[in-house]
Amino acid sequence: MKKLLMIAAAGMMAGCFNSQELKPDVTVEPWGVTKFGESASLYTIEGKDGLKLVVSDFGGRLLKCFAPDRTGNFEDVTLGWNTIEEYEKLGFSMSTLIGRYGNRIANGKFTLDGVEYKLPLNEVKPAPRNCNLHGGPDGWDSKVWKAKPFAKGDVKGLELVYVSKDGEMGFPGTVTVKVTYSVLPGNVWRVDYEAVTDKPTVINPTHHSYWNLAGEASGNVLKQNLMIAADEYTMTDAGLIPTKNASVKGTGFDFTVSRPIGAAAEWMAQQDFLRPMDNWYDHNFVIRGKAGELRIAAEMFDPASGRVLEVWTTEPCMQMYGAQNMTTDLPAKAAGKSLCQFAGVALETQHYPDSPNHPEFPSTVLRPGETFRSVTEYRFKTR
C-alpha cells in the first residue's frame, strides 16, 4: 500500500501548531448561533493587492471572495448564503471545510489494522447510493472552530483549530487539525492543512468552495473555460463509488486543453453510465506530477471578465462537481436573486474517494507520531 503524504512529527503537538501574534489587520464581527447553540463569527481578510475574503469559524466557510477583473473591478466570485440557518438547511456542502474524510466511503465501512469501523450513512438516495459522504451528517463543516487572526508582513489570515474526538462520526482516534487561511501578495488564497492523531485513523480534508468567475448569481458557468491537469479520471459505479481509472482522451472528461465547461454537454447526455450523475460531472481527476509537491491542478477562465483562477495543490487528486443539482429555488447572497443549475463549479483537492477500501489507491491512513500536511492555493489573475 502506498504511503500517505505526511511527515513524521517529533511530538503530537510540540511546535506543530504555533500561532502567530494577533494583529488588527483582520476584522471580526458576530454572525449568529448554530443549531448546536454555538456562537459563530465572521472574519474579513483583505490582502495587499485587493483580494478580500469573508470567512467564518463555523465550518471554515468561505462566504465571500472578492477578486478583480481585467479592468480592476472586484466581484464576489464564490457561491454561498447570508445566514447560518441557510447553510444548515440547504446543504450542498456549500463553501465549507470538509472532514474527517472528504468524498465518499462505500457503505459507511472500512477496515483498519483488522478492525472494522462503521460510519453513519448520509447519502442513501437516490438508490443505489449508500455511503458516508464528507465525513457524515455532523462532520467538520457543522462545527465552530477555534479561530485566531494573524498578520505577518504582507501575509494576513486566520488559523482554525478543531479537536475531533475519538469515535466522532464513527472514525477512530482523537484528531487535532489546524487549517490556516492565508491571503498572500499577488491575490493568492493559500490553505494549509495539518493534523495529528492519538491512534490510527483515516483522514482526507478538503474545501468545498464553488466558483463562478463572472460573479455569484450571474448565471451558469457553462461558457467559462476550464483546464484540468489530468490525463485520467476515476470511473464510478451507479452509487458513485470508484471502480478504476480511465483515460480522459476522447471523452467529455478531457480538460487537458482549456475549453468551455459545457463544451461536452451533448456527449455527456448520451452516456448511460453517467445517468446517476445526471449526465454531468461529479468525478475524481488524477492530477499530473508528483503528489506531495505543489503543482497546478486546474485553471478556470471567464472570457467576459478576464478573471482567471488557478488551483495548485500537493494532493494527488481533485474532484470536479458541476452543480447540476442546484435549482432556482436556492437563494443567492445578492438580494432578490437566486442560484440555478450549473451556477458554479467545485474543484475539491483531495485523495481518492473511498481510499480506505482500495489498497491500490494512495493511503489516507494517519498514525500516531505522524503529521498529515497538505497545501492548496487559489491564485487569482486576469488576462
Instruction: Give the residue numbers annotated as catalytic, written as ranges.
Output: 208, 348
Contact assessment for residue 329 and residue 336, using Cβ atoms and an 8 Å cutoff:
no
- Cα 293 to Cα 8, 271, 289, 307, 373: the distances in Å are 17, 35, 8, 26, 11
The overall longest dimension of the chain from CA atoms, in Å, is: 59
Q: Classify residue 296 as exposed, middle or buried by CB count within 10 Å of its CB (0-12, 13-18, 19+).
A: middle
Distance of CA 363 to the CA centre of its chain: 19
What span, in angstroms and rounded, lies between the C-alpha atoms of 138 and 132? 11
Whether a cis peptide bond, with omega within 30° of 0, leads into 373 is no
What span, in angstroms and rounded, lies between the C-alpha atoms of 240 and 108? 13
Contact assessment for residue 40 and residue 31, using Cβ atoms and an 8 Å cutoff:
yes
Distance of CA 290 to the CA centre of its chain: 20
Retrieve residue 49's grid coordinates. 493587492
Residues 6+ apart with CB under 8 A from 121: 107, 108, 130, 131, 132
Q: Classify residue 30 as exposed, middle or buried by CB count within 10 Å of its CB (0-12, 13-18, 19+).
A: exposed
CA count, 13 A, side-chain hemisphere, 286: 14
Task: List phi, psi (to 5°) of 4.
Answer: -65, 145
Q: 279 has which bridge partners?
A: none
Encode burial over 37-56: b for 16+ CB neighbours within 10 A, e otherwise.
Answer: eeebebbbbbbeeebbbbbb
Residue bearing cell 442513501 = 124
Task: Name the DSSP letter for residue 357.
Answer: G
Please report the sign of the dihedral spanned by the C-alpha atoms of residue 114, residue 119, residue 123, residue 127.
positive
